[in-house]
Structure 1
Amino acid sequence: MNNPAPSRFALDPMWRIYAAAWLGYALFIGFVAQLEGLARGQLNWMVSAKVAWGVLPEALLLALVWPLTGWLQRRQGPRAVVFAVHAIAGLASATVSTGLMWLSSEATTTSLVRWVWPFLYSLMIYIVVAVAFYLVRMSRAAQRHALAFEQAQGLLVAAELDALRSKLNPHFLFNTLHSIIALTRKDPRAAEAALFRFSDMLRYVLDTEKNGSDRVTVDDELDFVRDYLDLEALRLGDRLRVDWDVEPEAGSRTLPPLTLQPLVENSIKHAFNPRSQPGQLAIRVALDAGQLSLSVSDDGPGADPAAVAASRGLGIRTVERRLRLGYGPRAAFKVDTAPGAGFRVALSVPVEQTGVAA
């Protein structure tokens, strides 16, 4: 059931606070008036009520300061003009408030000195109300700017994620097709089997894009990687040995699609393609303290860490960038390698809800 739309006439919470503040002020001065009556031995609740009720006109008058502050903010005039407008409005408000107080009083004196303090007091209240209204407007403007900035950042992140994904998919497709072409020259039947395997992999890539989902289950990603390794095994044969270590509980967790495959492809390219001897590829998936941890390592020739950091290769760097954009500081990505020490990429992302929405 849809929630009912909020009424356009719903009272702004600020006005509730405004009314509550004036009510508290009215009760306070009424109580003070009662104490003064008690001190003189004249207990008169009607006097206290009249004093408290006398606050209402000033509260209504000062409510006009709210649209005045909004008008001044929209005009964005010089500060001198803003101060001048408020000086005139404050003097006018204090004059009206003091005049209403004088008319409602039972005083018989017309001495102006008697009304200097009430006038200054009303002027001080105007300043307090004007400052409070400005603080409210500044707070709301800051919230709007923060929300707009957050939305803009979200759009930028989404756009960059889409751009990175669009780079990664053609990269994967090109490399896989290149492997199949190379296999065609050596073993046409194996190449035919590889094409069927490749069609399943292509369906996985297209389905994730069609659904618009940026999360898949670990099981789906691992099936995709197995298909890729099966395709590479047609070419590499016994040289490719894979060691799987996957916690069953991790299978239903989610991660961005095409997270593992580029890491596996990197090992195939640098640890297996250049060598004729067999090699070991290890894939680890585990749950650890609320994080989904994955790693891909090989026993190949490794590389100089400085060269890896300076590399402009697409696969690994694209995966790292996608994780940073998708999870922020909650994601971890680390490359461990050295000449002759193999290559290992480890990453972790926070555990999210199980399954993927259809």
Structure 2
Amino acid sequence: MTQFDALCANDPELSELRTAIREFLAADRDEHGWEPAIDSWLARWDADFSARLAEAGFVGLTIPTEYGGRGLGHLHRYVVTEELLAHGAPVAAHWFSDRQFAPSLLSYGSDEQRREFLPVIAAGKLHAAIGMSEHDAGSDLAAVKTRASQVDGGWSLSGTKVWTSGAHLAHRIVVLARTSPLDPEHRHAGFSQFFVKLDSPGITIDPIVQMGGEHHFNEVTFDDVFVPDADVLGSIGDGWRQVTSELGFERSGPERILSTVTLIVAAIRALPDDADDGTAAAVGELFARMISLRQLSISVARTLASGEDAATRAALVKDLGTRFEQDSVELAADLLDRLDRQAPEAARLAELLATARLHSPLFTLRGGTNEVLRGVVARGMGVR
């Protein structure tokens, strides 16, 4: 395989899988009537769709067969993820479980945790949220103040997490908390992770409603919440290493490039065949950037598939990808200005554009601000 072929991610096996997921999505949309959405991995929660997708074999692809998964690799999951996003499918219900918590359980979970949770993730029926960010600790997770104190049989958890997508609908939340006092000389030490039931006594979930009326973010408060020892994820005190490993999966996927792809594709398809040279140049710019970023993202997926560290390149994908997503909104708006406002598709395109503009400020924040990620890249290149 040439280097170019590797970046295309179109090996015969992957091509067959891509055809299969496309056929599933076309048939499922025809039967159930969902519409392609902007930012579908964050904003479109449909538990029934997730269950159907899993039953068809498209969730838990990297989970070993002994735990109910397909036992395939990161590139197989990449191809399926890419198609789900390109079609704007409603995938939010199972997204975080499949993307981050399954790999974390495989790397750090106990055998009991793997046997309890991985089959449910593979079935598309474990809905989970991420408990990392706080009001004074967004991209700087070392500033997290949520604490867990050891008690008889487990831990007492107190603190507040914010921007927790889907917490009001999820079953579990993975919480990063301090389990030992802050050492100013070693800010990343003393963290642990807990896989907390969201119906536990002492948890309050308050909605954060966006300007457009959408509700998928939440503030989650923990008031002396008891977490049994069985729900500690990994090792006490090793939370920072575990979290940074998870972030490689979060930052490098095609969702960092394709959140607006439904708008881009719809706008291009609506353009007249006799579009002028300026329009052709705008379309060419969009696709040139998208293809370049996709190839960078695929290179990270291949690195993860080989078991190597990809933190620096994952941060680069996230930085460049989310800036492209923001730029693409206005580039698509410029394309729409060239359309006949009376065209049948004009109203649908205007709706997609309005949603994309509302979501656009989020793109460069979630998963770490771009300024922080550039620091990650610089350190990875040896700059101090």
The TM tier, using the shorter chain, reads under 0.3
Structure having the larger proportion of residues in helix = 1
